[in-house]
Amino acid sequence: MNNSHFDPSCVVESLEQLRSLYGSPSSRSLIKELDHVSPHYEAFIKAAPFVVMASVGPEGLDTSPRGDAPGFVRVVNPTTLMLPDRRGNNRTDTLINIVRDPRVSLIFLIPGVGETIRVIGQAKIVTDKKLCASFAVRDKTPLSVIVISIDRVYFQCQKAMARSCLWDADAQVDRSSLPTAGEIIQALDKQFDGTSYDESYAKYMAQTLY
């Protein structure tokens, strides 16, 4: 890492330095951590239409967005979650990581709600046909289901959402102010027709959403 932008002596390199800087966590921040999904946490998980899943592999870390109708992450029991692996671009970065290292972390977001739920656990990829069929939408069955055994679960307060104004209508960004997907790909591949891609993408997404 280039140290030209900060004083190298100011780098925190030990837990002792970190605790000296931030102090100890409050008792409330510790008591909210459980080893299972409580009824209160289950209510949040069932209401969330969007999840970010982090995974880890030999090449490093990956974070993947997951979205569907509220309740798409199934609470099987207090220590087990299931979520379908919907259609994507077949990079399968998360799945590749899980095969080699089962550790995952998820954060659940609910539109309009400041609190988020974080789950840390161990995942496996299951292709049981009956189970996959139980997650079918529009007669489309996922190829696999990610089954997560929970190690820890807790909620996080509203500060991040408040600072970011994420759910505020006035904070929404005009999509036209940013590069389109087609423009990004065309910049990387000069033979790619970004304009045609952008014009046809809405129809393509509707056909391939599930």
Q: Which helix (H) or strand (E) is 145 found in, with range?
A: strand 145-156
95 backbone φψ class: left, alpha, beta (φ>0; ψ -120 to 50): alpha
Q: pLDDT tens, 191-202? A: 999 999 999 999
Dihedral (CA of 41, 42, 44, 48) sign: positive
- Is a pLDDT exceeding 80 seen at residue 190? yes
Q: In the chain, which ranges are continuous DSSP H helix?
A: 15-22, 27-31, 39-47, 93-100, 129-133, 159-164, 181-188, 194-208
26-164, superfamily in CATH? Electron Transport, Fmn-binding Protein; Chain A (2.30.110.10)
Instruction: Break the chain into its structural domains and give their ranges.
Output: 26-164, 173-208
- Is a pLDDT exceeding 70 seen at residue 2? no
Q: pLDDT tens, 10-49? A: 999 999 999 999 999 999 889 999 999 999 999 999 999 9
Reading the block at residue 87, the tokens are 């259609």
Q: pLDDT tens, 33-42? A: 999 999 999 9
What pLDDT band is residue 4 in, cutting at 50, 70 and 90?
A: confident
